Amino acid sequence: MKAEPRRWVGWFLGLATLVGTAPLIASCAATSEPEEELEEEVAETDRGDGVSAGTVLDASKASCTTASVKGLSAQIIAEANCVNPDAFVAVPALSNLSAPANVFLNLEKPARDKLVAALKAYPNTKMTINSALRTVAQQYLLYRWYQTGSCGISLAAKPGNSNHETGLALDVDNYSTWKSKLSAHGFSWLGGNDPVHFDYTGAGAKDLRGLDVLAFQRLWNRNNPNDKISEDGDWGPNTEARMKKAPAAGFAKGATCECDAVFKDICSSPFRKDIEWMAAEGLTTGCDPQKGLYCPEAPVSRGQMAAFLTAVMELPAGPDAFTDDNGSAFESAINSVAKAGIAAGCQADPPKFCPDQSVTRGQMAVFLAKALNLPAGADAFVDDDGSPYEAAINAVAKAGITSGCDAKQKLYCPDQVVSRGQIAAFLHTAFGTQ
């Protein structure tokens, strides 16, 4: 089951086309910025040799070639492939394929495979690729040159928004020769406004835009533990400020595919960000602190739910409220949520809490609605009619804490059990901004 907090949870990519002595491509069809759909080819001007030992900002001032950030770009590519091994795979050497030495021939795996198939289908037809994937560091240079009117760049997408950051884009010099051949293998020709440009739109295509931003953020944090930024894949003021200060030749600590998460078993979890928030807030030490595990797929028990709420709300101790939690590791927390009026237990006479029972999504809604004293909300889902938890479910929906287990079909799944990963997402959404 997929968690449903309305904010983004989750993930992304890297790689790059390094344009040195070849024509410089400004931004090819930035689909998320319609005003920048056209892309212009501009010959690089003679301002520096393209090698920078300073920062990326220094490189933007001293050079008009994206090869000036080649070292950093290579690290971004490698780090992105640690996040997603199929993101930017290398195109193998083929006798009928050529590209300038400073172009990184890397594409998303489905696009790479179809390109190779097309080349092998026409072994006697040459193809010259002048641009493929481009890293956020390169895109930053292009965008800055565009903003400052430098290097002849009259149009460029913001970093994180260029088609060339997706792993799906190609600029083919002899495009007319290959237009029909590539189209037959899943590539779409952009058209007369940008005739060299092709995007792979066939089976398996995924827009990995933002993965290169995430890769840079991870590299920055690894090398600057006292100046960390959010690893969210979004280009913003904080990421831009660090990009300016980043070494153009690359960081001292490069890419690593080893998991550097706070728990060993959350590296691929869509709830990693939420779980790490909980750890940073002191709300959890995991399911097995000695082994460094969180157990994100394990169900949340009612006792654990009481402990999470007591910790995040800093609830005071309460008197003994139930008869079935003596000796439980969660007894104190259970008494706290009982005193706060958040939980009345699972049975009234004799009073029981059922600390080892798994929490359902309906029960979780009640916990959160009472904990936050949420007002009533309109009917939000179609599968909770008649449920004793319907009012609480509507309340958490109104508060923006949930959009259900299937937002499209307006389903909440009130009887499904909540996992430890999912509860991290709910708690982060509910309490993370308070």
Is 403 part of a structural domain of the chain?
yes
Is 14 part of a structural domain of the chain?
no
101, 74 Cβ separation under 8 angstroms = no
Is 4 part of a structural domain of the chain?
no
Same domain, 403 and 323: yes
Burial 139-166 (b: 16+ CB within 10 A, else e): bbbbbbbbeeeebbbebbbbbbbbbbbb
Find where tokens 């008649």 sit: 386
pLDDT digits (tens, 9 = 90+) for 347-370: 999 999 999 999 999 999 999 999
Is 243 part of a structural domain of the chain?
no
Same domain, 343 and 405: yes
According to DSSP H, which parts of 100-197 are helical? 109-121, 136-148, 175-183
Same domain, 117 and 52: yes
3-state secondary structure of 58: helix
| Percent of the chain topping pLDDT 70 | 88
Same domain, 120 and 34: yes
Which pTM value belongs to this model?
0.59
Number of other residues whose CB lies within 10 A of the CB of residue 86: 15
Same domain, 171 and 314: no
Tell me the helix, strand and coil percentages in the chain, rounded to 5. Answer: 35, 10, 55
CA distance 59 to 373: 54
Is 414 part of a structural domain of the chain?
yes
* Per-residue pLDDT band at 21 (split at 50, 70, 90): very low
Is 231 part of a structural domain of the chain?
no
3-state secondary structure of 121: helix
Res 433: pLDDT: 65
Q: Which positions ≥6 away from 61 have C-beta within 8 Å?
A: none
3-state secondary structure of 200: strand
The H-or-E segment that residue 406 falls in is none
Cα distance from N-terminal residue to C-terminal residue, the chain: 27
Is 11 part of a structural domain of the chain?
no
How many domains are there within the chain?
2
Tokens of 128: 């010259």
Same domain, 166 and 274: no
* Per-residue pLDDT band at 103 (split at 50, 70, 90): confident
Same domain, 50 and 183: yes
β-bridge partners, 25: 41
Same domain, 401 and 285: yes
103, 170 Cβ separation under 8 angstroms = no
Same domain, 303 and 415: yes
Same domain, 115 and 191: yes
Same domain, 291 and 143: no
pLDDT digits (tens, 9 = 90+) for 160-183: 999 999 999 999 999 999 999 999
Is 3 part of a structural domain of the chain?
no
- Residue 314 domain boundaries: 264-431
Same domain, 37 and 129: yes
333, 306 Cβ separation under 8 angstroms = yes
The H-or-E segment that residue 243 falls in is helix 237-245
Rounded (10°) angle between helices 390-398 and 361-372? 60
Residue 103 sits in a domain of what CATH number? 3.30.1380.10
Instruction: Characterise 286 by phi-psi region: left (phi > 0), alpha (psi -120 to 50), beta (else).
Output: left
Mean pLDDT in the chain?
87
